[in-house]
Amino acid sequence: MHPTEPTQYVIVGAGSAGCALAYRLTEAGRTVTLIEYGGSDMGVYIQMPGALSYPMNMPRYDWGFSSQPEPHLGGRRLVTPRGKVLGGSSSINGMVFVRGNPKDFQHWADSGATGWDYAGVLPYFKRMETWHGDPTGAQTSLWRGTDGPLHVTRGKRKNPLFNTFIQAGQQAGWPRNDDYNGERQEGFGPMEATIWKGRRWSAANAYLRPARKSGRLTLVRGLARRILFRGKQAYGVEVETKSGNLNVEAGREVILSASSINTPKLLMLSGIGPADHLRQHGIAPLVDRPGVGANLQDHLEVYMQYKSLKPVTLYTYYNLLGKSRVGLEWLLQKTGLGASNQFESCGFIRSSDAVDYPDIQYHFLPLAVRYDGKAAAQGHGFQAHVGPMRSKSRGTVRLASDDPAAAPEIRFNYMSHEDDWAEFRACVRHTRRIFDAPAFRDYRGDEIQPGDAVQSDEQIDAFIREHAESAYHPCGTARMGAADDPQAVVDPELRVIGVEGLRVADSSIFPRITNGNLNAPSIMTGEKAADHVLGRQMLRENPA
């Protein structure tokens, strides 16, 4: 096939960052070709927030990745869902909206990501959002945005258990916090979500649809096989489409927004990565960058589950008739339980007083069930998802072969640092304090999981080894840092070090994982990347 006529920018991946970047570039009058392997996001399981457990388990929408056997988790392989659909993982995630802690971004800046401190990212968090405040309180805040494409809302917390969890956190000794995305993160309060008018407000809904309406965006459906170079100048992407291979050329730059799994894979297939590893797969190294595919991080969590003494949980609807009623109401009116992700209250706490900012996150759910929806406890129950936020364990993404269609080898190396175990034990014990609080006296029955018999360090460790699950927050595999840092992959303007005309804009660039769910900082990365690409003066806002 003949190469396409060059547009100014080629973006690989219509996910959280890619959609935001495409929108801002087209808004500025630039032409963009966006390459995406996945299909339409308009299915009901994606658009209905209450159906969130379905799309991440559907081969139609998910790449189907899983880790190599994890040696510190009993050799288990953990699933690693990544969105294979317009909107990327923002179309299959839990819709939870967490910016991260200001000190996360200070750490980024201290690690060589100059300009990515909190003063450098806050304006982009504000630019991207329309914050709808608390239905019962404040509608404006100096810390929040009012006219961005991404709607951020809160559930109505009609179920009494949501506010009971917040109250219990206070009784257990932590503060109430009515906006963890505002002035401070620590405490218990309402959880925020990318849900608008009862629908999942993904990056596809918020950014991609307006970008396509501009007439300056071309969407190419296909598998990106490799980046095309003349010498060390990137000039396009080779794409495998249904009708054959196609060279999609960029007049100015190629930008990878293909996820923390597929971005390092594509860099390595293109000759950018650890030279010895590339040679093992018959790939001639263009640039020896050992940091490509290294520094892989994630959040692990366990589900602490309890029986409910009162029939107030979602178990009432966890049957065919109940699910049908919920689905019908959502289809007809976009209201009811289907219009919520059911994560409506949360907490951020410190594992000990020696820690200077929160390192444990809670998602509360008024149902005792696995995240994938495959197994619910028999009868009424509720649970908290809890896990440490800043694990010191690091893993890798590596090529399994030189075949672009082959899944890469993912090794998270979970729980490989001894501090992870101490932090996780703290998670279990703090959670028991919360559910022992007076607020839960009328609701809390027996502990389903891990169970009252699990008390010693060794027993808790065995529970974690057998039951810890990924929170699906992989990142860090093309780390941002100073241009002379041998482990960095991109510089603070997101340019791939050692070549020209190529950038990365997705969660791959995170030097260290942020405190909370990764969708918000991923979209922020796309927003900030746009100003770097456009050569604009970077926004800064000192919140002090």
Question: Tokens representing 306?
Answer: 């309890």
CA distances from 497 to 110, 114, 494, 500, 527 (A): 19, 15, 9, 8, 21
Instruction: Answer yes or no: are the C-beta atoms of 512 and 298 closer than 8 Å.
Output: no
CA distances from 520 to 102, 122, 327, 524 (A): 13, 11, 27, 6
Q: Give the separation between CA 21 and CA 17, rounded to whole angstroms.
A: 6
Which residues, other chains included, contact 402 with Cβ-Cβ below 8 Å and sequence gap of 6+? 269, 281, 282, 283
If you search the block for the tokens 């093992």, which residue do you land on? Answer: 280
3-class DSSP assignment, residue 53: coil
- Overall residue count recorded for the chain in this entry: 544
3-class DSSP assignment, residue 470: strand
Q: Give the separation between CA 26 and CA 217, rounded to whole angstroms.
A: 7
Neighbours of 141 (CB within 10 A): 17
Between CA 186 and CA 448, with CA 433 as vertex, the angle to 5 degrees is 115
Q: Give the separation between CA 155 and CA 137, rounded to whole angstroms.
A: 13
Among 277, 380, 385, 473, the one annotated catalytic: 473
Query: What is the helix, strand, coil percentage profile of the chain, to 5?
Result: 30, 25, 45
Which residues, other chains included, contact 524 with Cβ-Cβ below 8 Å and sequence gap of 6+? 99, 121, 124, 125, 128
Cα dihedral 470, 467, 409, 72 sign: positive
Is 473 marked active-site?
A: yes
Q: Give the separation between CA 321 and CA 225, rounded to whole angstroms.
A: 46
Neighbours of 542 (CB within 10 A): 9
The amino acid that residue 130 corresponds to is T
Q: Which of 470, 525, 541, 518 is nearest to 194 (CA)?
A: 518
Q: Give the separation between CA 295 and CA 479, rounded to whole angstroms.
A: 7
Q: Give the separation between CA 132 and CA 299, rounded to whole angstroms.
A: 28
Radius of gyration of the chain (CA): 22
Which residues, other chains included, contact 100 with Cβ-Cβ below 8 Å and sequence gap of 6+? 514, 515, 516, 520, 521
3-class DSSP assignment, residue 146: strand
Neighbours of 345 (CB within 10 A): 26
* Residues tagged active-site: 473
